[in-house]
Structure 1
Amino acid sequence: MTVLNPVKMKHLERDQSSIIIEEKGYYAINLRAYASTSWQEENNESLMLRLYVNNVHHQDIVLFYGRRDFTYKRLLGMMEPGTYEIEYVCESPRNREAVAQIESCTIEKLDLSDREALAVQYAPKLYGRAVYSQFDNLYTDTPLEMIYFFDQWEKGSVIEYHMVFSHEDEGTPAVLLMSKWGRLLDIEYMARVYLNEHNEMDHVEYQGAEHQVKSYKIDDNQIILQTATCNGNFTDEITSSYHFSFIPSYEWKIENEARETVMERFPYINHVMKWEAERQLKNAPLPYNRIQNVSQYIFLQSSVWGIEHGIPSIDFLCRLNGENEWYSSSLHNKKIGVFSAAYTGPYNHFGTAICLPEGKSMEDIVEIKIALINEKLHTINVKNLKIYAYDGNDDLQKYMEESFDEELNNIESAKTIWRKER
């Protein structure tokens, strides 16, 4: 169902159309658009379209993909049959000469399984961050995707939502984000919705500042949170004026894959991640926050078993053709006080990354090994490995997938898990 014909919009310009909904259900809006902005350009990063439905502010859509044609898919929610007035207002506070080109806008009735319908029904509405400015997410740490997984408790199901942000301005420095998580993206636990046997909300928890789990006061069936901190934590005290309605876009298979799977499933987020790094991190004053070239990293996904979560355990190392030096995912077990550069997260499956020297790539790697770096651990099991890297078109490609189940013990220094055939 087409809503808008192609239209150009500048700051504060408006465009209005009518749509007809014929069948009750959950609907999404698909906005195909591009803009004269660029996420790589200071003060020209993006602009925002404010969406009104029947003259009520419904949500905002940040056009972060710049001059590239892109479809922004957002949740309209449950809609009854009828005629609706749809209006856009273009907001461009960073560059008032910027132009948005809307190529098309369609309304889609979502075809959902029972699980997907529950995830959509209870998906939190997210208000944008307003710490540095009124509209932080128009130029930094913008939210990109919402993912989720299902869990169980004694009364029924639990839905846990995670938000994918383009980066985090504060918190773990960029170089250590790469070593600990294998990304510059900030993927944050957002909320846990506890449902009873009738799939009604019993109670809700969310991640507050300082990573503290907070209780959410349920007023109705709509969970409303705001990005409150510069490292992607949330609050239920709403102070900002712009908000987003994301569709839970992927059910994370937590028992089988890392959260970083989103980097493969949604390729565009790797572009936005790289563009933000190129704009913010090349000249960062602190060495551990300075990244010259994201393309020099390889991104690894693996899993570790038989340990207590939250402690450093393993290192991935690679050697290049003609060299004796080993390049390390944990920066050779780097520690800053009690902070470890190795993965210490709460999941078996995880991501990490290794920075190769300038001009080197996956083609130069001749050997990969794993090492147990925690002297207090007797044995651990490491299973499987995937490696991704940026190609010449700045797309993240999978270059290697190895299946193995290796036991490491603290007597061995390391085990080779891959060697290039001569």
Structure 2
Amino acid sequence: MPRILLIEDDPDQRRLRTLLLESRGHQVHPASCAEEALQQLSAADTLPDCVLMDLRLPRTEDGRRLIRALHEQHPGLPVIVLTGAAGFESSPERALVREVLRKPVRTERLLNALSRLASILMACWLALPASAQQRSFPFTLASAAEAVAELELSSPSSDWGAAGREAAVAAIGLDGETKHHVFVFGEKDSRRYTVFLGPLAPGPHTLLVERDARHSAKGSDLAIGDARIRALAPGDPLYEPVRHAPVLFARADTAGRFSDALLLVYCRRGRDARGPWLEYTAVFSNEDGGTSTRDLMARWGRTTDIEYVYRVWLDAEGRPARTLIQTREHQDVPYDGPYFGLHPMLAPVTDNNMVEPVTGDAPPLRFQLAPVLADLAGGSRELVMDGEPFTYEIACKEIRREGKIRAPGQWIDGEKIADPRRYFIAEFLAETPNAAVQILYRFRGESLWRGSSLGIARNFIERDGWVRTAAELPEGRGFSEIGEFAFQCLSRRDLERQPVPKNGRCRIVRLGKFLTFDSRCRPVDAAAAPATPENGWQLNVGEMVSFSHD
């Protein structure tokens, strides 16, 4: 069971809590004040697994000062605070502690709360491997190969939505050199992070994983689990996609801000007249520029930024024959930068995450995320996010931390949106020549229609293929109350700089998913998609078609 440093200035409460915790099998080391606690930690051969402390020692400021000292001297040590003081949740010290339990905590309440407290202590216990903050993994390759590492990592104290403990950064070194990094997000359980190591020679190698103190949030620890090394050879379905995957550096202006973070990379493959090709797309947690948060939800059904970054056509030997990257102003240009093996080295250079080759001094954070293989023939590119639902959760937390969510009760507030959990997502296959489309809905028994565009013409969808949009639900209302949906077709005449015909058309070929969000802001299937007519719904501009929701 975890070893607990209990800090309580009231001798009766200290004795009672010691007895209660020891009766549950915990090792308790009591201290009566901040000075005694720090002396115990300084003299201890082994740190406790968890600190349980009263905030008033005897003053609230004494407790806050102790929290700062604990974080400065032992940043990976989990701290649980007992307090009834108002304002602590909004104080800077809140970001430095693992959990807050509200007082008063009398004997009977402690007994009733022990099960909840035990789960918190168990989280501290599970974080024990993080105390070393690094682990080595030796491995041997029988022959030269492209290698990937599957790492079990967690950061129990992290919360992307809380300033000061957004995420841990794991530095991944190979054979004595720090090569690249991974953002490790706060989750209940460890998660597998897969990175590529690049082309490796046969023989012994050593992988080192450690917490990067410089780039990790101050309140974020790192728990390092197992690592699995996989050598990829020609013929493996992942060989070519990994062999050409881009190295992506963090955008220079995001250093220390935990903003627009790289969440995942996916790869599509195909063949055209130029030969076989691979296309790599990056998913970022948000975009600080370009499309606003409100427009992202209406036009894309998400607040992440998804950008294609690199496309490569392969010759007969599997080497690059032709390349393109998406750079400033969304222009496609050939890649003319350096390579790591066959991996192009790219960095976002605009606040909407357009990329350029890395030349000269590279940004400090380097990412080598192994790509996820994606087949988007039957749905939108957000399907990749559905397969990694943590991406939605991180995106929600980021816009909340950055103040992009409007207050409850406000319908429109600049470019802000409502809490993302108050939206539903609609996916559909569309054709919109010279036109644009939005989805509308109304509740059972009501005549009022509400639209995904919020009445803003540029927030209609004017692209073809599988698309998604998000529509806001009024506060206190749910998706299950919707009785009818509709699609509305709008002329694109006033949405583009160049003149276009006024008589565009919209065709809704097929419906896909309807999604809502759970309490963690992760997507949940909301309803089966109704069947569409054999040739879909065909609309002229100015027309609307409705369908029921059972």
Coarse TM-score class (shorter-chain normalised)? 0.7 to 0.9
Partner of 1:244: 367
Secondary structure at the counterpart of residue 289 of structure 1: coil
Q: Does 1:356 align with 2:473?
A: yes
Matches within 5 A, 1:179-258: 179-217=298-336, 219-220=338-339, 221-238=342-359, 239-253=362-376, 255-258=377-380
- Post-superposition offset of 1:358: 1.2
The equivalent of 2:543 in structure 1 is: 413
The answer to whether the 8 A contact 2:490-2:541 is kept is no
Q: When you count strand as a share of all residues, which structure comes out higher?
A: 1
The alpha-carbon deviation at position 394 of structure 1 amounts to: 3.6
8 Å CA contact retained: 1:131, 1:229: no
For residue 115 of structure 2, what is the aligned residue in structure 1?
A: none
* Correspondences of 1:311-390 after superposition (within 5 Å): 312-332=435-455, 334-335=456-457, 340-345=458-463, 347-374=464-491, 376-385=502-511, 386-390=513-517
Superposed displacement of residue 296, structure 1: 0.5
* CA RMSD between the two structures: 2.7
Kindly name which structure, 1 or 2, has the bigger radius of gyration based on alpha carbons: 2
Q: Tell me which residue corresponds to 1:73.
A: 194
Higher relative contact order (CA 8 A, sep 6+): 1
Deviation of 1:24 (Å): 4.6
The structure 1 residue matched to 2:152, chosen from 20, 28, 32, is 32
Matches of 1:395 and 1:389 in 2, distance apart? 8
Match of 2:84 in 1: none
- Cα deviation, residue 392, structure 1: 4.2
- The answer for the alignment partner of 2:60 in structure 1 is none
1:32 Cα deviation (Å)? Answer: 1.5
Correspondence list, 1:381-400, <5 A: 381-385=507-511, 386-392=513-519, 394-400=521-527
| TM-score, normalisation: structure 1 | 0.86
Is 1:263 the equivalent of 2:381? no
Q: Deviations over 1:31-54 (max 9, x none)?
A: 212212110101210121111101
Residue matched to 2:227: 105
Shift of 1:270: 1.5
**In 2, Cα distance between equivalents of 1:261 and 1:312:** 25
The code of the aligned residue for 1:416 comes to S
Who is 2:136 aligned against? 16
Q: Is the 8 A contact 2:130 2:224 kept in 1?
A: yes
Which secondary structure state, in structure 1, belongs to the residue aligned with residue 398 of structure 2?
helix
Counterpart residue type for residue 388 of structure 1: L
Alpha-carbon distance in 2 for matches of 1:203, 1:374: 38
> Residue 403 and residue 199 in structure 1: after superposition, are their counterparts in 2 closer, same or farther (change >3 A)?
farther
1:143 maps onto 2:267 in alignment = no
Question: Would the alpha carbon gap of residues 411 and 201 (structure 1) be closer, same or farther in structure 2, given more than 3 Å must change?
Answer: closer
Distance 1:111 1:415, change over 3 A: farther
Aligned pairs for 1:51-130 (under 5 A) are 51-92=172-213, 93=215, 95-109=217-231, 116-130=238-252
CA gap 1:277/1:112 in 2 versus in 1, 3 angstroms: farther
Q: Which residue does 2:162 correspond to in 1? A: 41
- Per-residue Cα deviation, 1:230-284 (whole angstroms, up to 9, x for no partner): 211111134302211111202232x432111123222221211222122222269
| Letter of the 1:164 counterpart | V
Q: Report the alpha carbon displacement of residue 229 of structure 1 after superposing the two structures with TM.
A: 1.8
CA distance in 1, matches of 2:484, 2:490: 19
Cα distance change on mapping 1:369 and 1:32 into 2, 3 Å: same
How many residue pairs match? The answer is: 401
Question: 2:309 & 2:243 partners in 1: Cα distance?
Answer: 16
Report SS of the residue matched to 1:381. Answer: strand
SS at match of 2:461: coil
Contact 2:169 2:216 in 1 (8 A): no
Identity percentage of aligned residues: 21
- Measured against aligned partners, the alpha-carbon deviations of 1:5-44 in whole angstroms (never above 9, x if no partner) come to 973157xx54434223345543321221221211010121
Q: 2: distance between equivalents of 1:383 and 1:160?
A: 26
| Deviation digits for residues 121-155 of structure 1 (CA, Å, limit 9, x no counterpart) | 111111111114x345xx11111111122343433
Equivalence for 2:399: 277
Contact 2:338 2:357 in 1 (8 A): no
Structure 1: gaps of 5 or more residues = none
1:290 aligned partner: 416
